[in-house]
Amino acid sequence: GAVVSQHPSWVICKSGTSVKIECRSLDFQATTMFWYRQFPKQSLMLMATSNEGSKATYEQGVEKDKFLINHASLTLSTLTVTSAHPEDSSFYICSARGLTTDRGHEQFFGPGTRLTVL
Amino acid sequence: DAKTTQPPSMDCAEGRAANLPCNHSTISGNEYVYWYRQIHSQGPQYIIHGLKNNETNEMASLIITEDRKSSTLILPHATLRDTAVYYCIVSFTDKLIFGTGTRLQVFP
């Protein structure tokens, strides 16, 4: 199956700093990528949809100025958590949708990035 | 997107079939049924999806009722590595809205 990677796999930062998380589709081109957040013992929550070359679409309640998303190429999307605070500590997961129609409804998920804000 | 209802947890003996139910009584005609699973501290893994017909792949089988109001994911021979949270999602777009899922525990 297709592979999606995330970097870093975990990060610890101080409150007030910004953190960038990368999501890469390694063996396919992804027109659309998605960013999720998951708190302990909870389900995944969709944060935003990222389309290559256009602005991200954020879900209701997600601050677009705090969670900056850039999808500059068909294989890379980045999520920047700006001015991070302890309540932003979470597991951030990206997914990518491929171009091929036979897998048109299949999303491939990255392994996730654990962010801890001190 | 329509909501789904799944039991919070299930147990299954290793080597036996695991049958995970999902209710989606408000599903609309163009919505697919997707199944994903998440092993602890990892990203979700795609299992299978379908629209109307039953589907089978190397991982599992998906049985969708004729009225499409419910479905069952079948893992034919569960192993300890199948222990995970299983999510049933219905959607006609790319957006996947995850519910609370079913925590499947496979025991020796």
CB contact (8 A) between residue B46 and residue A107: yes
Dig out the tokens for A7 from the structure.
């970097």
* A49 has a pLDDT exceeding 70: yes
The string of pLDDT tens digits covering residues B64-93 is 999 999 999 999 999 999 999 999 999 888
Interface residue of B46, B49, B55, B89 to substitute, partner A, most A CBs within 10 Å: B46
SS3 at position B80: helix
Residue A100 has what pLDDT?
52
Q: What percent of chain A shows pLDDT beyond 70?
A: 92
Facing A43 at nearest CB: one of B43, B49, B100: B100
Residue A104 has what pLDDT?
46
| Cα end-to-end distance, chain B, whole Å | 38
In 3D space, the residue among B3, B45, B99 whose CA is nearest the CA of residue A1 turns out to be B45
The string of pLDDT tens digits covering residues A63-76 is 999 999 998 888 99
CB contact (8 A) between residue A46 and residue B95: yes
Count CB-CB contacts under 10 A for residue B1: 16
Residue A51's pLDDT band (boundaries 50, 70, 90)?
Answer: confident
What are the backbone angles phi and psi of residue A40, rounded to the nearest 5°?
A: -55, 135
Q: What percent of chain A shows pLDDT beyond 90?
A: 73
A13 by Cβ neighbours in 10 Å (0-12 / 13-18 / 19+) ranks as middle
The answer to whether A115 and A94 are in contact (CB under 8 A) is no
The string of pLDDT tens digits covering residues B59-71 is 999 999 999 999 9
Average pLDDT over residues A34-60: 92
In 3D space, the residue among A73, A41, A47 whose CA is nearest the CA of residue A60 turns out to be A47
> What's the rounded Cα separation, in Å, for the pair A104 and B77?
28
Residue A74 has what pLDDT?
87
The answer to whether A107 and A96 are in contact (CB under 8 A) is yes
The string of pLDDT tens digits covering residues B1-58 is 558 999 999 999 999 999 999 999 999 888 899 999 999 889 999 999 999 989 999 9
Residue B44 has what pLDDT?
95
The answer to whether A112 and A7 are in contact (CB under 8 A) is no
Residue A29 has what pLDDT?
85
CB contact (8 A) between residue A91 and residue B44: no
